[in-house]
Amino acid sequence: MQDCPFCKRLMSSEVLVSTDLSAAFLDGFPVSPGHCLIVPRRHVSSLFEMSDVEQHDLFSLLPVVRRLLDDRYHPAGYNIGMNIGEAAGQTIGHAHLHLIPRYIGDVEDPRGGVRLIFPASARYWELA
């Protein structure tokens, strides 16, 4: 797609690692050093539009990108996430998987992780 920023980046030197079906590059608006996106080469808006083969290929890049980030950035952990649909916060209509390196002290209290999209429910250990 000509207007898709991810399709454009797939054709650039920004690609860190790739296969015939997927590629990874650094997020243009990273939440932490090394924040990467893994995207299908085919322009589809969500994981659910991808074929089983494309999904498998996309997820096969996770450990490859993780090793690259481990070597370059030495994070203490990771968050992995995907926003599917506007209600879930997706802003670019090309499927993409976030691999977000986490560092000791990057936030005051990281407990709850991805649950923090719903702050009132994130601290579940305090609700019991």
Active-site annotation holds for 35: no
Q: Considering just the CA atoms, what is the radius of gyration of the chain in Å?
A: 15
Q: Which of 42, 31, 126 is nearest to 80 (CA)?
A: 31
Q: How many residues does the chain have?
A: 128
Residue 29: phi and psi, rounded to 5, are -135, 70
Q: Look at strands 36-40 and 22-26 and give their pairing.
A: antiparallel
Q: Which position among 35, 94, 96, 98 bears the catalytic label?
A: 96
Smallest CA-to-CA distance from 7 within 15, 77, 67 is with 15
Block residue for tokens 């997706």: 90
Structure tokens at 6: 């991810």
Structure letter (DSSP) for residue 10: H
Q: Which residues are catalytic?
A: 96
